[in-house]
């Protein structure tokens, strides 16, 4: 009898917790619908995102695809370790991601076609708490675990065409598939008298958008890039039923790249209109429009075992799209990386390490993270 009453009570608590915690995760970076990795290749990430508008491997500016005239396939992996301190308590979490995959093929000497799969919002995190609950005057301790897995992704089919050697235009068609798997479990220390509770829910996302971009090289040493994306309707489904709709985020960005004597210096700014997602899912997951700035340097490094290494460094400042309570979450990151050609130029590898710092206004919480990334491209 007690077991049945406790089970019913736990179910009610679980449903309330699932609803309330959708916008109150245990990390600053993964509020709301998740953390935006940035849709940057390992090369651009090692430069603080500064080359995002001129990098063919970052699915941002479709015009940049023109530099993949040989075609190729690219795969990227990331491992992130986060730690957070809030109100005298601390915690940590780790996540492994494959945030970017792409393939490109040339079409005549003037054009390139590509398909890419990248993570737009990553919502993988978990919490574990210890607490007590009173039933009929008895205090019972329990362990509660809440976990989220999944992401909203961006699949782009893009193409670039060189009208002149120094003027390139690009177009892209996007779809935004995604899934979140939320699970909650509560296990009581007195397992003989109090039944454990487990519940889960899956939600799916779907949407579409278009993008366009341009690259212009006014002189041999300077390349300018600019692009924009317009997001169409974004739907949230539960069990094949559309629950809510909003718009996928739109964005505008521009960047400049200077290259001379083996040294590259780049700068980029980006404005993403995340507020278009308002009304998708929980009303507490309030998105805000954000700025993203990156500055980076790439230089020729030493020759190691017959391979010419690159030495890279970058700095990045950006706002994250979802609030922590009522406060905006800001991130400052510093990156270092390297890269080298492989197999006589038929492949290349890029590596980076990033240290990021996240804060949220007056909230007594600080988050730190280390991210290690690897990107590999193979060309025909």
Q: Show the domain range for 191.
A: 2-378
State pTM to two decimals. Answer: 0.85
- The token pair that represents 235 in the structure block: 């739907």
Give mean pLDDT, residues 206-227.
97
72-113 pLDDT per residue, tens:
999 999 999 988 887 777 777 788 889 999 999 999 889 999
Domain tally for the chain? 1
pLDDT at position 152: 94
pLDDT at position 21: 39
Q: How far is residue 107's CA from residue 65's CA, in Å, rounded to a whole number?
A: 12
Give mean pLDDT, residues 16-33.
55
Which CATH number fits the domain that encloses residue 349?
2.40.160.60
- The token pair that represents 316 in the structure block: 């990045």
Q: How far is residue 185's CA from residue 351's CA, in Å, rounded to a whole number?
A: 38
Q: How confident is the model at residue 283 (pLDDT cuts 50, 70, 90)?
A: low
The dihedral sign for the CA sequence 227, 299, 295, 334: positive
- The token pair that represents 11 in the structure block: 């179910």
Q: How far is residue 334's CA from residue 328's CA, in Å, rounded to a whole number?
A: 20
CA distances from 201 to 6, 147, 184 (A): 21, 11, 9
């Amino acid at each position: 009898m007690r077991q049945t009453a406790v089970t019913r009570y736990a179910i009610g608590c679980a449903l309330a917790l699932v609803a309330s915690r959708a916008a109150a995760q245990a990390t600053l970076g993964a509020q709301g619908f998740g953390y935006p990795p940035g849709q940057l290749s390992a090369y651009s990430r090692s430069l603080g995102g500064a080359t995002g508008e001129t990098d063919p491997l970052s699915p941002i500016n479709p015009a940049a695809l023109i530099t993949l005239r040989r075609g190729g396939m690219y795969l990227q992996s990331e491992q992130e370790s986060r730690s957070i301190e809030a109100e005298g308590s601390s915690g940590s979490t780790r996540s492994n991601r494959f945030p970017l995959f792409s393939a490109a093929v040339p079409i005549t000497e003037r054009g390139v076609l590509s398909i890419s799969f990248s993570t737009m919002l990553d919502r993988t995190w978990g919490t574990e708490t210890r607490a007590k609950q009173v039933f009929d005057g008895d205090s019972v301790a329990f362990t509660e675990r809440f976990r989220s897995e999944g992401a909203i992704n961006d699949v782009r089919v893009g193409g670039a065409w060189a009208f002149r050697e120094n003027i390139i235009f690009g177009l892209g068609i996007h779809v935004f598939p995604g899934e979140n798997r939320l699970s909650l479990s509560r296990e009581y220390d007195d397992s003989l008298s109090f039944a454990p509770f487990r519940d889960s829910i899956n939600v799916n996302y779907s949407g579409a958008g278009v993008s366009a971009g341009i690259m212009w090289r006014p002189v041999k040493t300077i390349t300018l890039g600019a692009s924009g994306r317009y997001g169409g309707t974004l739907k949230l489904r539960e069990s094949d039923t559309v629950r809510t709709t909003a718009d996928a985020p739109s964005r505008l960005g521009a960047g400049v790249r200077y290259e001379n004597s083996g040294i590259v210096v780049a700068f980029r700014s980006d404005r993403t209109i995340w507020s278009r997602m308002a009304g998708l899912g929980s009303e507490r997951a309030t998105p805000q429009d954000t700025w993203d700035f990156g500055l980076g340097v790439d230089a020729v490094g030493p020759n190691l075992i017959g391979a010419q290494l690159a030495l890279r460094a970058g700095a990045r400042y950006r706002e994250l799209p979802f609030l922590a309570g009522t406060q905006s979450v800001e991130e400052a990151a510093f990156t270092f990386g390297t890269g080298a050609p492989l197999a006589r130029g038929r492949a290349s590898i890029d590596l980076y390490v990033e240290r990021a710092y996240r804060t949220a206004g007056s909230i007594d919480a600080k988050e730190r993270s280390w991210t290690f990334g690897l990107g590999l491209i193979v060309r025909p």
